[in-house]
Structure 1
């Protein structure tokens, strides 16, 4: 048995597959001049400048779905680019309010920096009794609010959920529409 074959057989399958694919892959550079890897990255990831220019447009609307917990929540909150918020609790009429401009800016900046882990909405099904599940969704992707990828959004969105749960006259972060 050759030394190369012994080495390959002793490696984990994933490493062996990568080595074999690398050895068998094309060696020529693409006609446009860059490497295949850099072209793939360019094609699938938006440039930072483009993301910054359109960050308000493509992070909103932000939608939160809160389900479960001891209180049995079943809420949906949507934040629009203009700062308007719609909020609906199970069994109650939809409410609307206007988000504090500083909080809107904080959310916009935080959501623009998130590396969204998925485009589809994660499950809102609890994994154990009385688990509170909060999912945040943007046009860029979706994640559970307790996911490290969206950590920058956890505090402002949690505060907002608490605020809109209060009677309209007692809210501090989401005032009347004007």
Structure 2
């Protein structure tokens, strides 16, 4: 197995800590210690904890999006891809003991002046929104404006299901959101 570079160790360590422990609860010294790097090495790659978090969210976005695409790829119909997204949420959230969404979690844990992190969360959510819009447009039953409205509604169902499953530590919110989604898209 390939040995991780200093930068990769910092990102991997910080990713785990930010996701499972929280942004504010994770200090630079903890990242340095658990990554096994020198402070000078860390600052050679990242100017701040915020810069590490931005890199974490960019990497998480690529990984999460690819996993979603792979998970729904067997579905031929666009509405089935959207319905399968809820199954993806169950699979993912069950595997992390319902820890929730990394973007939702970090944004609720941010000081007000960390706009670069907030922008990464907005980017991720807007790309999911665009993906939903594209799929709903492909269904063919809706005008462009209706598809956009429906995509926004499905996004809210997804986001609400994620946070509610985190609170409940259960899949029923995701199943309920999927049932509502089926009602509005069929």
TM-score, normalised to structure 1, is 0.31
Name whichever structure is richer in helix by fraction: 2
State the structure with bigger RCO (CA 8 A, min sep 6), 1 or 2: 2
Q: Normalising by structure 2, what TM-score?
A: 0.30
